Amino acid sequence: MRGRREDEGGARLRAALIAVAVALALAVPPAPADATEATSGDSLESQVVRGEVSGDGAWPFMVALVSSGDRDDDLFCGGTLLDARWVLTAAHCLDGESASSVHVVAGTQDLTDGDVTRVPVAGAVRHPRYVEDRLPDYDAALLRLTRPVDQPTVTLATAAAWEARAPGVAARTVGWGASDPEATEFGPQLREGVTAVLADRVCEQGWGSQHSLDQAICAGLAGQGACTGDSGGPLVAPAHAGGDWVQSGIVSIGLVTDGDGTEICGQNPGLYVDVATLLPWLEAETGLSLGSGEPMRVGHDDVYRSAAAITRHAYAGPQETVHVASAEAFADGLTGGALAAVDGPLLLVPEEGPVPEAIHTELSRLSPRRIVAFGGEAAIAGDTVEDLGVHAPVTRLAGADRYETAIEIARAWGSTDKVYVATGENYPDALAAAPLAAFRGPIVLVRKDSVPVPTSGFLAALAPSEVVILGGSSAVSEAVGDRLAAVSGGDVRRISGADRYATAAAVATDRDNWTDPPFAYVAAGGDYRDALVGGVAAAYASSPLLLTRGDAVDPVVGDALARLDPVRTVVVGGEAAIDPPTARVLHDSGRR
């Protein structure tokens, strides 16, 4: 959100001004320095767009971009010090500018302070894939200073610091930009404001297809956010709970126009360039070691902590509905995953006994109004359901066995024209299907050589136009395929591969369902639990799920990642599931 105080030389902000109204689920007051999660509240009415004046010594890596004239307070953008000679900013800050027209002001929080460090710029380089009318994609630039600056430098968020950009995180925007929504009030003092990171799906409700979110962090609160003059400055957040602050984003775009054409800040979520996607380029240009090789791993060796982390990666709180499935039996979660991908996150619980603390903590964060348990007493015992009930009323979707339970879950979809079918005798073929089935149709179960009566009755009554079999004939026989065609009256096709990894790759790349996905989630194929929760998270993030061996990446998986071309790969689960060398290979295979 670039701008000058006067109509002087240089380009104005080149950003699309879109009249939209976004309903934000979160509104938070300024967070304490150790805050990592945005909470509900309604105390923003008296606050300005830029929040509050920063405390003395806060954000010492901040710099201001000013014109090369005599006035230190002629601000048009912000930036951060990567090291003594390099400044990171937004590429659109340089539209119409040359390096010689820009000076960097460092070492101050007050632009009118007479004792400031003002350094000319020796050279500037914008990301080679930056295009002016495609913000926020690749909206990044580097400034090389004529002399070193003796100030602390910023730490950039790597892919591994995923919590810094997780939905619901109370991040902060920092800059000298306008402090009122109509961008008429500029003050000389550095300001900061709390802004909640939003899930891409929420952000899309406002920006729609006007801007790509593939390489962006979306963050916004009603009446607060970045404004004119803040472009190029940072979005900062804790690297993890209780961790140090890191720069996760670069201010790129967020202005909208009202009915009379007035530019308004804080009405729409801001879009920030995700710095983790820039690290290879930054390292190549500067020679700095910035952690570009660190993979994004979401999960733990403990199954319940892993489920909580995966859900935390994808969903902000609160959520209307949370689903739970057994961590000790796969069948109900396989069919429930596709429904959860539509209605809300999925967590795992034990068949019997108390709910683990990690799940209680995540349920408290998600604050659901209802909990849906997949399966009957044999899958999730009554005492477990009672323990879940401290968070919200619990209902079950269950039948007499796994096949009937699948039908009860399928009926919760209502009308649908497509049904996916998998074996109920093993889990691998259906694991990767939750993102594919989400919003398309339910998953039901069959035996290898027969179609259970409940499944036949459901398909006959529904009469879908297409039935998609997941897995080869060794899992679901050709005779069963013929029977499915007869009872449904629809077309039957099969998605399969030579093994579970190839089948998952075939599911993930089926009919090119994914175009420029933000992520490709990859889970170990030897255990269903991380993949089950990961598939639901992947669906919510509009991304596919693949399966891998824990100690090697099959060529078919690497080929699928290359075809999917995600912005980044998310390794799901702990090191016991996918070892560090394999995680790094996956990271490199899926990195643009």
Which range, of 48-57, 239-248, 274-283, 367-376, averages the lowest pLDDT? Answer: 48-57
Which helix (H) or strand (E) segment holds residue 217: the answer is strand 216-219
Q: Which two tokens stand for residue 212?
A: 């790509």
pLDDT in tens, 363-422: 999 999 999 999 999 999 999 999 999 999 999 999 999 999 999 999 998 889 999 999
**Across 225-267, where does the E strand assignment appear?**
234-238, 245-253, 256-257, 263-264
Residue 139 is among the residues annotated as catalytic for this protein: yes
User: Residue 20 pLDDT more than 60?
Assistant: no
User: Residue 297 pLDDT more than 90?
Assistant: yes
User: Residue 202 pLDDT more than 70?
Assistant: yes
User: Residue 35 pLDDT more than 50?
Assistant: no
For 439: left if phi > 0, alpha if psi spans -120 to 50, otherwise beta; the answer is left
Q: What number is the average pLDDT over the span 41-56?
A: 54
Question: Which residues make beta-bridge pairs with 443?
Answer: 420
Residue 231 is among the residues annotated as catalytic for this protein: yes
Contact in structure between 363 and 388 (CB atoms under 8 Å): yes
Instruction: Give which of 177, 176, 173, 172 is closest to 228, Cα–Cα.
Output: 177
Catalytic residue among 92, 300, 313, 587: 92
Residue 510 is among the residues annotated as catalytic for this protein: no
- Written as one string, the DSSP assignment of 462-475 is H--SEEEEES-TTT
Q: What number is the average pLDDT over the span 444-455?
A: 97
Q: What number is the average pLDDT over the span 252-265?
A: 71
User: Residue 165 pLDDT more than 60?
Assistant: yes
User: Residue 38 pLDDT more than 70?
Assistant: no
Catalytic residue among 231, 252, 292, 542: 231
Q: Which two tokens stand for residue 558?
A: 């690497």
Q: What span, in angstroms and rounded, lies between the C-alpha atoms of 371 and 346?
A: 10
DSSP 262: -
Contact in structure between 384 and 352 (CB atoms under 8 Å): yes
Q: What span, in angstroms and rounded, lies between the C-alpha atoms of 421 and 414?
A: 17
pLDDT of residue 203: 83
pLDDT in tens, 65-104: 998 876 545 788 999 999 999 999 999 999 988 899 999 9
* Contacts (Cβ under 8 Å, ≥6 apart) of 202: 22, 24, 25, 167, 218, 316
Percent of the chain's residues with pLDDT above 70: 87
Catalytic residue among 72, 74, 139, 387: 139
Confidence of residue 204 (pLDDT cuts 50, 70, 90): confident
User: Residue 523 pLDDT more than 60?
Assistant: yes
pLDDT of residue 73: 52
